[in-house]
Structures are given as C-alpha cells and as structure tokens.
Structure 1
C-alpha cells in the first residue's frame, strides 16, 4: 500500500523530530504531543512550495516546542522537589554517535534547563543538529545576526557547565552492575567504593511518591541514604542494567513493578551524579527502547 509524499517525509524524519522536541522539552510525553501538532500543521501545508521537507518539519517542531516549553516552565515553578527529565530507554546504536548520546544525557538535559527557551532552541539546533544560522533564524523568528549572538552566548553557558566525556561501555556496565548489587543488598562500603567524594544525588518523585526534595551531596550522605532506603522497601527488589538517555542506568523493580530509574553519571570510573526518577508519570515510556536520531 503506497503512501503520499507528505506522509513519507514525516515518517522518514520522525525520529529526528522526536529528538529535537525531546531535547527542547526533556519530556517524552510532551515531545509526542509536539509531533502530533507538527503532523497536523504539516498536512495543511502546500507541499509544492516546500523545497526541503526536513528543514520545514524541524521548523514546525521547533516552534511548537518553544510554545510548549514556556507552558512547562510555569508548571515547573510549582513542581514538588527536583525536576528531572523523563528518562528514555535508548537503543544500543546510540553509542555510535557520541555527540548525540551526550546531548540526550540526563546531565546535559539538566544543563539545557538553565538556558532560556530561545537559547535552548538555538543551541540544540546548531550544536546537536548542525543546522545553518539561516534555518535556525526561521525556526525561532530571529535575525541571523541575533541567532549568532544567541548561539555564542548559549555555547559559552553550556561549556562552563557541561559534563565530561562519556566512558566506555564496559566500564559503564561494570560500575552499574556493582552499583545495582550494592543498592539491592544495602552494602554501605560497596557504595562508598563506587561514589566520588563530591557525588550529587537528585530524586524526582513529583510529589506523587516519596523522594528526597533537596539534592544530597557527598559520598557518605548518598551512600547512607541508598543503603537505608532501597533495601527497606517492602517486597522483592530486583535491579537491571540498561541504557537510559544514552548512558548507564539501573531499573529498580519491586515485586516486578518498575519503581525507580537510576541514571548514573560516571567520571574517571567513579559515580559523580545520580538521577533517581520515581514519579510514575515519567516512567510510562520505559516499555520500549526509543531511537533518537540526528
């Protein structure tokens, strides 16, 4: 069964459009909504006037993402405790594109949260997707000169805060499996051996489930929290090594039900960042791996 060119173009670029929206919003659910809005606008376009379907679709997606990003900003002002991005179970092939894996990591998405909406859009489109300044200017409704200035400012802002480079898959697996065992058994010393002295733990319960509402800093405090907390959860606790947002993570299940996604940031073999997502609204997209693309 054949499809029309408009549908074929949208399907061909869908993974790219999802990735643009997700990097803008940090939410898979909102990214999917943006894709639906993009599709509705795309089918109404006079496609005979479209020279570059990819650029046109990215422009629509960016504009819809900017609109939604401003709404999300108001929601976050009343969010209970730390807000973390909605975790994505990513496919193994993301490791082949180091820059893309870095751009969707929990640590990078949190850095992007510190940018203003237009700065975030310009940074993502330029640094991650390598769009020209003319295309970005059309997408964000600014002049090319203004976009160049915004890109320079955003690049410097991110450079001062961005995480270090990725670690090897083998190193990640060994560290995460050891972390999973230590968490499951409450092995305090085992946790201390894995954590960097200045490790930071953020937990997102969204006010729906129990979670610490302030960052926990330091190996001793983080290790004691984890060794006391997870092993005392009633029920059978299991852990599984996975790849979330292009990086190492552990899924913690209680009686077979997903309870926590723990994404890890590793630097020089030690865990420097722990991002625990418990808000059940953010765990709904963990059923299937997502393909992100540039």
Structure 2
C-alpha cells in the first residue's frame, strides 16, 4: 500500500472578507493605488507612483462591516481609505491603543448636531446629549476603535480619566437675575464630563444640582437645596435659551445621571411664562422642599 502526501489547502476565508477585499481593491484602484493584502487580512499596503507605501489597518473595518448591511459597504470602504490617506501624516497610529490611549478625550455635543451617530464613537448622557470620543481634537471613527483590544465603554472610560487628569475647570460664582450659580469653564470641549466629579469643585447636596450647558466648554450649576430651586430653573432656562449654544434645556445631575427637566418658554396674552414639567423623582423632591 502506498501513501501519497497531499499539500494542505489553505483554510477558506469567509465570503464576507473576500467580498470586502474586492471592494477595497476597486476603491484603491480608483484612487490610483495598487493594494497588497497581508496574509492574515488584518491590513493592506497601498502603493502608487511617487507615493510612499502606506499600511492601512483593516481589523476595525471588518468588524464595522459585519454590523452593517452590504449596501453600506461601498461608502464604508471609500470613507475608510479616504480617512487613512487624510490622516497619513499623523504622528500616531490611531488603531494602536498604546499610541492613541494617552490622547483620548471626550467632547459633549447635542444629538441634533451630529450628522450620523453611527459614524462616531460615543455614548448618550441623555436623549439630548452625547459624549463623543476624540483623539486630540478629532472624532474617533468606529473602524479605528474596532482595532483596539478593549470595548468602546472601556475606551470612553480611559478618555474620561484623561480629561480628569489633564484639566481642571475654572470656577466662578455669578448671579442670574439675583439667583447665585456656579460657572465652570474649561479649555477643552469636555466641561460636562467634569460633572462626574463635581464635588471636587464645590459642595454637592444629596439631592444633586441643576445644570445647564450653554456650550461644550461651560457648565452652570445651582444646588438643589431649597425651594429657591424653582426660581433657579427659570433663570437657568432663560439664560440657556439666550446663549443658543449646546443646549437650551435645564438638567438635573443626580446619582451620576443627567436628567432633563422639561421647561418650555411660552407666550400667553403678551406675557412670557415658563411651564415646567419635572420628572417624577424630581417632582417629589420639589414637594418635599416646599414643606
């Protein structure tokens, strides 16, 4: 009996990876590049006339493609390669957490101001506001965060820790129509992130504080420690509406959560009134404070 050795065939790659590679090759060709894929498919090298060869990481792109419909892939691939070319001169590799980690920061924005929440990395502070992940000043893309060996929540926690370590807000006591408030201002667009450790800046009562966010660099707060909080809601709401910045709303910061206190400015019979509809938990606090 004779035995014939047969060369082991390389494992077949998932059809999704093959299709994505085909798209990458087509887009690279349209941009004037020839691409060469690494054997493990984790990266490709772009080569073009007069251009230094450039390695593009693909791990995060493949993960993001797996979460999206196939009809989204052409745009996803085009944006990924365009972004790689646009950031080729950055002094760090955004797909390497060891390099990007110390540069991670947060930026708070209105949900309405973010064109596409699927193309950024972040988490909701509430229904109106989102805390976005940045590297330096630019937003992190899902394909970049997808390369990291930690989940998104952990990356955001790293960014929050960086914000706390690198910046301390400037504190001022001011008045809004006779109501005392504390204004906290920072150099970066992460002022709302500092609410997590507000006790480092001023005493925080057990019932929390009112907060408005006129812009990403500023937070105004007023303690929830007496029935005067009703007038403070009015003063803060009017101030936030006038600034026309990050959010015109008043929020309640309590137990690590930022909750909307719905307050509408309405015009009735030629007079401006504030109609407040507080959440049930805050309404119970108001009832207690009124006794």
Q: What TM-score bracket applies, with the shorter chain setting the length?
A: under 0.3
Q: TM-score, normalised by structure 1?
A: 0.26
Structure number with higher relative contact order (C-alpha < 8 Å, ≥ 6 residues apart): 1
Q: TM-score, normalised by structure 2?
A: 0.26
Report the structure, 1 or 2, having the larger helix content.
Answer: 1
Report the structure, 1 or 2, having the larger strand content.
Answer: 2
